[in-house]
A and B are shown apart, each in its own frame.
Chain A
Amino acid sequence: MWNVIKKDFLTISRDRSEVLVLLIMPFILIAILGFALGDLMSGTNGIEEIPVALVNEQDIDQAILDLEVDLRDQGIPNEIVADLIANIEDTDPATSFINFLTDPDLDDILAVSTDYDKESAMLALEEEEIAAIVIIPEQFSYHLLSALYLDEGTGSKVELVVQNKEQIQAGIVENIVQNFNDHFNFETSIIQATEGAAVQTDLDTVSFGETVSISMQDPVSAFQYYTIGMAVMFALYVASTVSANAFKEKKSHVFARLMITGETPLRYLFGKFTSAIFLTFLQLAILFSVSHLLFQTFENKNVEFWLVIGLITFVFSATVSTLAMLITSIALRFNNDTVSGIFSGGVITLFAFVGGSFTPVEQISPFIRELGNWTPNGAIMTAYLQMIQGFEISEILPMLYRVCGMAILFILLAVAIFPKRRLT
């Protein structure tokens, strides 16, 4: 097996135009697209953290004391009151809210500061040093708890003060607060600072849930995006390179020579598969590592990240190799290599576009994204990007299964098309 891989590796690596297509071109494109579109990407994906001031005006101890008095006034027995109070101390809604905002999960999105009081925060907002102020009012917990335990009042409100409601950053903060509300079920009022008076917005009627969950992923940098985009696109060229090479073997009668040694056509076909896996994996490994060395593309990633990236890369290499088998099969069956040309000249470009290698196609149309996820490169690109965004492996697996499905389909087609009789 190594003999065949080594031979294919040597023949291809010595062909200057192949090396140009498989390694040099993707680099040039990663560099150009990465630098040129870097700003554009960070604008649309909200890469910068949003500065937010958190002003906590309430005194929880006072709130509990007040509530305790209220509960006794209701004539509730002492032991029960003590029980309830002990419970409340653990589950203060204001504390939960503060914990939520300062959770490490939101680190990349929000830069929450508690150094402001109400006045200095308003000043900072005007100076645009911060994008929003979240205020927990004096009686926040008291009102909320009264509503809960005594069925009194209408609950409580968090105040969100923003400069301009239409701003993307303000919108994101709003979504996050709303997301919390959905769990704790209290109202939020939004005050537009420029207009002075508080304007209450009923957020319940608007569903931001989905947007919030997207904002909570790690952002993807332009270099990461295009390293993945170009890598998955140019890996497809391995398939046409290997098939063109196989056809050359047939034409130069080396193939016949191999058949005389007792090699069988099917074993030969699977030999192409192993060569292509090796070549694709090597190509992707080189692209990823050099991109990282030149542009620090994948900084601060842990071992688990690289293991999963390795797995995705292996799955993709295998899939590209099944494509190599399929094209080889067609070329040998019809004794004509135009199929390699069609693949490298048209199919790859089309797949690369639909799969999102050139631009995030979901911004053009979600339908194209969905379509792209049915190309091997598009599906794998989605998997890579999900990994970069910090998805769980279990969330990435469905895409990988889908690609494996495609690979199996390609193998079955390749074997079905392949001329299994001795070739002349």
Chain B
Amino acid sequence: MLEVENLSKVYKSKKAVDGVNLYLDSGESIGLLGPNGAGKSTTISMMSTLIRPSDGDVRFKGKSILKQPDLVRPILGVVPQEIALYEELTAYENMKFFGRVYGLSGKKLDNKVEEVLELVGLKERKKEKIKGYSGGMKRRINIAVALMHQPELLIMDEPTVGIDPQSRNYILEMVRQLNQEKGMTVLYTSHYMEEVERLCDRIYIMDHGKVIASGTKDELKSILSGEETVLVEVQHKTNALANQIASLPSIQKVTEVEKGFKVIAPKGENIFTDVFRATEEAGVKLMGLHVQTPTLEDVFLHLTGRKLRD
């Protein structure tokens, strides 16, 4: 449905997006995962005809949309990262305004407003001004506005940033429903790997403007198939211990976690005795050793040596 080929965007001398390739098939739910500043929003802006790429192309059903943005605009719903709404207007007025901008009117418009309000669960509070809404409610109307014209492709840029878990769950469930029950194609951007893991069929991981890995959840995790993630629980975390573990030849990466350290090592290596010895030498009491199934977080850690959220 939509193909992105070698897409780049250069700001001054900074490369915000650097040769990104990706595609979306009709009905798919695609995740774009990456830390802040990875270039996700810039990529999305280029895909949604808002900014011009420095290089590369975006094709909709085989035709470039750079010269003919109107090919894709009518079927495109974009939920921006920011709350792009009129704060002084009510939810209802915002939805009506954007509905009309999309050419809806009369009974059709009224019905659509009600339908979408139902979907985002804010029917009762539609007559309140946006500025009086909670963060979660604002996010929901931010999405609602993008759904007014029944888009085939919904692009969402971090739609759950800074809201309570309840609203977050509501939104995730809503997106799942739109994708699976209404057949809407979804491009979902986030720096929360749980969300992408839960919602998306395929995932692109971005960092520093580049796609560093892509595939289904399982494909991505198989990157780690040769490795094992072990949680080392200790009574006290000390720097000496961290250094000692890191210096062990069998261990690839060490990161600090709440109860101790997360350690990545190649499968088959027997690191248990090594870790055990290290704790003893450092005089720290070992509380437990757990082998974990890898998460996308681990994949990112493996690929970049950094955590998704720093």
Q: Which 9 pairs show the lowest CB-CB distances between chains A and B?
A: A253-B84, A3-B100, A253-B82, A11-B88, A14-B88, A257-B84, A424-B51, A262-B73, A254-B84
Given contacts A11-B88, A14-B88, A252-B84, are A257 and B52 in contact (CB under 8 A)? no
C-alpha spacing A417/B283, complex, angstroms: 71
Shortest CB distance B162–A (Å) = 16
Stretch at the interface among B42-50, B216-224, B257-265: B42-50
- Could you say which residues of chain B place their CB within 8 Å of the CB of A11? 86, 88-89
B269 within 8 Å of A by Cβ?
A: no
Q: Mark A247-266, 1 if CB is under 8 A from B, else 0.
A: 00000111011111111000
A258/B101 in contact, CB under 8 A: yes
B89/A422 in contact, CB under 8 A: no
Shortest CB distance A423–B (Å) = 9
Given contacts A10-B88, A422-B51, are A260 and B78 in contact (CB under 8 A)? yes
A261/B101 in contact, CB under 8 A: yes
A118 within 8 Å of B by Cβ?
A: no
* From B52, B85, B98, contact of A422 by CB (8 A): B52
A7 within 8 Å of B by Cβ?
A: yes
Shortest CB distance B171–A (Å) = 18
B97 within 8 Å of A by Cβ?
A: yes
A166 within 8 Å of B by Cβ?
A: no
| Extra A-B contacts (14), CB below 8 Å, given A10-B89, A256-B45 | A3-B101, A11-B86, A254-B85, A254-B86, A257-B84, A259-B49, A259-B50, A260-B48, A261-B101, A262-B70, A262-B74, A263-B101, A422-B51, A424-B50
Scan residues 75-133 of chain A and give those whose CB is less than 8 A from a CB of chain B.
none
C-alpha spacing A254/B98, complex, angstroms: 10
B50/A256 in contact, CB under 8 A: yes
Given contacts A3-B101, A260-B50, A422-B50, are A10 and B45 in contact (CB under 8 A)? no
B145 within 8 Å of A by Cβ?
A: yes
B119 within 8 Å of A by Cβ?
A: no
C-alpha spacing A14/B101, complex, angstroms: 22
B154 within 8 Å of A by Cβ?
A: no
- Could you say which residues of chain A place their CB within 8 Å of the CB of B101? 3, 258, 261, 263
C-alpha spacing A256/B51, complex, angstroms: 10
Shortest CB distance A53–B (Å) = 66
C-alpha spacing A6/B87, complex, angstroms: 15
Q: Which residue of A lies closest to B79 (CB)?
A: A257
A-B contact pairs, 5 of them (CB 8 A): A253-B84, A257-B98, A260-B76, A421-B52, A422-B52
* From A256, A261, A424, contact of B73 by CB (8 A): A261
A15 within 8 Å of B by Cβ?
A: yes
- Could you say which residues of chain B place their CB within 8 Å of the CB of A257? 78, 80, 84, 98, 145
Scan residues 72-131 of chain B and give those whose CB is less than 8 A from a CB of chain A.
73-74, 76, 78, 80, 82-89, 93, 97-98, 100-102, 129
Residues of A near any B CB (own CB < 8 A): 3, 6-7, 10-11, 14-15, 252-254, 256-263, 421-422, 424
Shortest CB distance B2–A (Å) = 15
- Could you say which residues of chain A place their CB within 8 Å of the CB of B100? 3
Given contacts A3-B101, A15-B88, A254-B85, are A10 and B80 in contact (CB under 8 A)? no
Scan residues 189-224 of chain B and give those whose CB is less than 8 A from a CB of chain A.
none
Shortest CB distance A163–B (Å) = 65
- Could you say which residues of chain B place their CB within 8 Å of the CB of A261? 73, 98, 101-102
B69 within 8 Å of A by Cβ?
A: yes
Given contacts A3-B97, A260-B49, A424-B50, are A252 and B78 in contact (CB under 8 A)? no
B89/A7 in contact, CB under 8 A: yes
Shortest CB distance A166–B (Å) = 62
C-alpha spacing A252/B83, complex, angstroms: 7
- Could you say which residues of chain B place their CB within 8 Å of the CB of A258? 101
C-alpha spacing A3/B89, complex, angstroms: 13
Q: Which residue of A lies closest to B87 (CB)?
A: A252
Shortest CB distance A106–B (Å) = 56
Given contacts A15-B88, A262-B73, are A252 and B82 in contact (CB under 8 A)? yes
Shortest CB distance B138–A (Å) = 11
Shortest CB distance B182–A (Å) = 21
Shortest CB distance A19–B (Å) = 12
* From A252, A256, A259, contact of B85 by CB (8 A): A252
- Could you say which residues of chain A place their CB within 8 Å of the CB of B78? 257, 260
C-alpha spacing A424/B101, complex, angstroms: 20
Shortest CB distance B67–A (Å) = 13
Shortest CB distance A7–B (Å) = 5
- Could you say which residues of chain B place their CB within 8 Å of the CB of A260? 48-50, 73, 76, 78
C-alpha spacing A263/B97, complex, angstroms: 14
Shortest CB distance A335–B (Å) = 14
Scan residues 29-53 of chain B and give those whose CB is less than 8 A from a CB of chain A.
45, 48-52
- Could you say which residues of chain A place their CB within 8 Å of the CB of B50? 256, 259-260, 422, 424
- Could you say which residues of chain B place their CB within 8 Å of the CB of A3? 97, 100-101
C-alpha spacing A10/B130, complex, angstroms: 13
